[in-house]
Each structure stands twice: as C-alpha cells, then as structure tokens.
Amino acid sequence: MTQYCYDYPRPAVTTDICLFTVVDDDLKILLIRRGLEPFRGSWALPGGFLQETETLDQCAARELAEETGVQGAHLEAFATFSAPDRDPRFRVITAAYFALVPAQAHALASGSDADEARWHSMAKLPKLAFDHRDIIRAAREALIARLDREPLALALLPARFTLTQVQKVYEAVEGQPLDKRNFRRSFLARGWIQETGDMERGRQRPAMLFEKI
Amino acid sequence: MTQYCYDYPRPAVTTDICLFTVVDDDLKILLIRRGLEPFRGSWALPGGFLQETETLDQCAARELAEETGVQGAHLEAFATFSAPDRDPRFRVITAAYFALVPAQAHALASGSDADEARWHSMAKLPKLAFDHRDIIRAAREALIARLDREPLALALLPARFTLTQVQKVYEAVEGQPLDKRNFRRSFLARGWIQETGDMERGRQRPAMLFEKI
DNA sequence: ATGCTAAAGTGTTATGCATACACTTATACA
DNA sequence: TGTATAAGTGTATGCATAACACTTTAGCAT
C-alpha cells in the first residue's frame, strides 16, 4: 500500500462467469451473443462491471442473474485476468468465476445488455470475444481440479439424483469414462450423499435416489 | 461484458504480497511499517497500485522489489479481496499474492513508500493494517495446499540444499513434525530434485547436497 | 405369460502408497 | 579416543486404487 496520494487512472473492474451444466452427458457452457462493439456478434461470457457497493462475489451473482436469469448457482472465483490490452476500449481487469447449475429447464432470460443466451458444448466452442477462450480453458482446469476435493458435482445435479447421474457428470467434466464399481465405492466413501429410500422409475430397473447430506 | 458506455466510478486496484521465508525452522513473513495514515505505525503487507501498462503479476513483482528489494522470488496469486470498505479512504480491491524466497541475507531495502521492513514470525504477528490479517491467513492456507503439488519448498531454499533442510521447510510451513524416512522416500519419489555429488560439511556427518532438476 | 432390452447393482484380487517404527554411520571436536 | 550430533537407511502393515463380468429388475412388445 502506498502512502502518497493516489491519482493515477484506474482500471475498470469486471467479473466474467463461466456457467457450466451437464446435459446429455455433455459439458456445456452458457454464452451470450454480443449486441454491440467491440466483438459485436461474437459469443462472450456473461459478466459485467463491479459496482461501488458490492464485492466481486456479489457482482458475479448479480451479473449472472441479470444476463441469464440464473439464480442460486454455485459460484467460485478461480483466477484474475489483467493483460493491459485484453479489452480494446480501455483498461479492464476481470475476476473470473465458474458457476454450476443443474441441467434443468432454465429460463434463459435475455438480459438488458445481452441479445441471446445459449448453451454451447465445450467440445466445439464458437469464436469468442476478448480473451474469453483463455478464461474458459482455465475454468475447466479449475473445475476438474476441485471436483475431487469438493462436492461440486452435486451442484450440477437436481436435489435428488442417482449414482449413475453423478458418474456421468464426472465423465462429462473430465472427458473420460470411469469404472462403475470403483466410482460408486469411492464416491460413496466421501460421505457427501445419502440414500433417500425412494427409487427413480424409468424404462429399466429402478435406481436408488440419493440426496446431499 | 456490458454494451453501454461505462462511466461509473472505478475502484483502485492493488496487489498485496505475502513474502515468506523459513529461518531457523520458523515460517516468517515480511511486513512493512506504515509511515502515513491510515494505519500509520501499523504493520502491513508490501504492495501497491496497479499501473496502466502492467499486469497484476508484473505489479506484484515490481512492488515487492520497490518496497523490499527482493527480486526473483517465486510469486503466485491466490485470491482477491474486494470488500467495499476494506480501505477507509476509497474503494480498493486487491489481488493477493504469496512469494517465496530462500532464507539468506536479503538486503531489505526501505523503499520510497515504506519506513521499515522486517521479518515477523507467523507464530506471533503484530497488529496489522486493513484486512491484512485475513489475507495472511488465506496465504498460509494456499501455501500449505500447494506445497504437496508443486515444488514450492525449493523456492524457500538456496540452489543447493540437503534433504533435512527440505524437511524443515515442510515442518515450518505445516507446523507439525514429519517422519524422516517417510518424508525422504516420498519427496524423492516426486522427481523434483537430484543429487549433486557434493557433500555439505558441518559439525557432524556430511549430508548430500541436492539441486532442482 | 414370456422373452427381450436396458440400465442398476454388486465383490474379489492384485498392486501401489502411506504409515509406523530404531539403529548404524560419519564427522567434528574436546 | 571417546563423545556428541545429525545423516542415512529397511521392513511390515494397513489402506486406497485399479482391473475386471455377471446377476437383477423393471418396461415393453409379442
């Protein structure tokens, strides 16, 4: 911290949010098509400028709700991006967050400053604005790294879920198949979930429904 | 990212650096006594304002050099602090870094905006300015978490070192004793270091000197 | 009712890794 | 030469991980 009076130009500060979900065994990210320059027409991460009275965490939650209608997602900061020329207009540094929601029908509201919001498969991303491709790559790495330490997979699932659904979340995020018996044994051993006693009935043998402890 | 013209007040952006070293089996952090208000006379982390043409990483390295004379330290960002009232003067958000240097004689220069720089034992910290106590607590947790995944301990040691020195670094950071044989076996298994062939001669049996691969 | 389909559910073995634990060796120095 | 001090070394045990295939249960079509 300096002691002299501070009158240098200040950078703008934003949050950008990588909102993930898993649909049909596929990891998807929510992108917004930009309506204005720069990068008009390109896809970009939801996000926006920090306001005077809010923390970065609050900013990320607010911008996500405003631009996509998603509330209550699991939000976690994972990195900051600060290259001086990352925004062609003026200096902007951004705190990058990842967010997780269950793959249900979300009312994907087009917010005030976003034309169109759509889920994109992580397998084939479109051309992206700014350095958002770098941010997304870092987000996926952060997500994979934390998936084994925290019960993040549960944030990608509805309140009640089957073990096979959990396994498919892991497979989608990590991009590789897992052994069924080993996965069940080790995941149950974490003590993150418990049986509900109810069964999910489908076309085949019913599956036990679990819930977060 | 928004599309409207951006003319809101911008927060100031700083970096704060938790510079650690291990001296006499004790984890120490470098603090600077503030010469001006606010918190005049309190101890604080080195750090300062982001300049227009530099990244946050560059800012942290520059501020560390300016305020303490330390160059070439291992620097890593671990969190961002953004509570709106964390600085009583005006809005400041800070990117927090930890930095690691070997416990050698460092010319602890008193920089332009710092009266006095001194190593403090993490065991008993003085009263600290701003939210720096929170930042330091988070830095130690981040350091412990990464010590097992990256060869960070080597950044706290000179270029050539003995295995006992490495063990003492781990013990100082984690705050608990470790088994000698198990530590050596598992640390060597990481493949981070190699024998130099030279021995360190002291008052007792000579110890093999190792170096980073 | 019966058979077919599809996903749920379940155990054992082998291997590697973490843990606990004590004595011998090499040097400096008195 | 003997004493003090830190360096250096091996094994046995438990635990977690990895590999691997078949049985069970229901829905549905015939």
Q: A181-192 as b/e, with b when 16 or more CB fall inside 10 Å?
A: eebeeebeeeee
Residue A134 touches partner B, C-beta closer than 8 Å: no
DSSP 8-state class, residue B156: G
Measured distance CA(A186)–CA(A170) in Å, rounded? 13
Q: Is the dihedral of CA B193, B199, B201, B205 positive or negative?
A: positive
Distance A187 CA to C16 C1' (A): 20
Residue B47 touches partner A, C-beta closer than 8 Å: yes
Measured distance CA(A208)–CA(B4) in Å, rounded? 50
* Residue A37 is among the residues annotated as catalytic for this protein: no
Residue B56 confidence (pLDDT):
98
Residue A19: CB partners within 8 Å, gap ≥ 6? A29, A30, A46, A64, A68, A70, A73, A98, A99, A100, A101
Candidates A54, A76, A116, A174; catalytic one: A116
| Tokens representing residue B189 in the block | 């298994």
Candidates B116, B141, B150, B195; catalytic one: B116
β-pair partners for B95: B15, B80
Residue A8 confidence (pLDDT):
73
Is A10's CB within 8 Å of B8's CB? no
DSSP output for A70-134: --S-EEEEEEEE--TTSSSSS-EEEEEEEEE--SS-------TT-SEEEEEETTS---BSTTHHH
Is B2's CB within 8 Å of A48's CB? yes
Selection from B30, B38, B111, B13 nearest residue B73 by Cα = B30
Is A4's CB within 8 Å of B79's CB? no
For chain B, residues with pLDDT lower than 50 are 1-4, 111-112
| Contact of A126 with A29, CB cutoff 8 Å | no
Selection from B77, B74, B208 nearest residue B151 by Cα = B74
Measured distance CA(B153)–CA(B156) in Å, rounded? 5
Is A3's CB within 8 Å of B34's CB? yes
| Contact of A62 with A50, CB cutoff 8 Å | no
Is A80's CB within 8 Å of B91's CB? no
Nearest nt by C1' to B210 Cα? D7
HSE, CB side, 13 Å, CA atoms: give it for residue B108: 17
Selection from B186, B205, B177 nearest residue B25 by Cα = B177
Task: Measure Cα distances from A92 to A85, A96, B32 in Å.
Answer: 8, 12, 29
Q: Which residues of chain A are within 8 Å of residue B93 when distances are taken between CB atoms?
A: 13, 50, 56
Q: What is the pLDDT along chain A (213 residues), one digit of tens a residue?
A: 444 456 678 999 999 999 999 998 999 999 999 988 899 999 999 999 999 999 999 999 999 999 988 999 999 999 999 999 999 999 999 999 999 999 875 556 554 454 688 999 999 999 999 999 999 999 999 999 999 899 999 999 999 999 999 999 999 999 999 999 999 999 999 999 999 999 999 889 999 999 999
Say which residue the tokens 């098509």 belong to.
Answer: A33
Residue B64 touches partner A, C-beta closer than 8 Å: no
Domains of chain B, start order:
12-147 (3.90.79.10), 157-212 (1.10.10.10)
Residue A107 confidence (pLDDT):
55
Distance B179 CA to C22 C1' (A): 12
First to last CA, chain A: 44
Distance from the B168 Cα atom to the nearest Cα atom in chain A, whole angstroms: 27
Selection from A13, A18, A110 nearest residue A59 by Cα = A13
How do residues A77-131 score in pLDDT, each as one tens digit? 999 999 999 999 999 999 999 999 998 755 565 544 546 889 999 999 999 999 9
Distance A185 CA to D16 C1' (A): 11
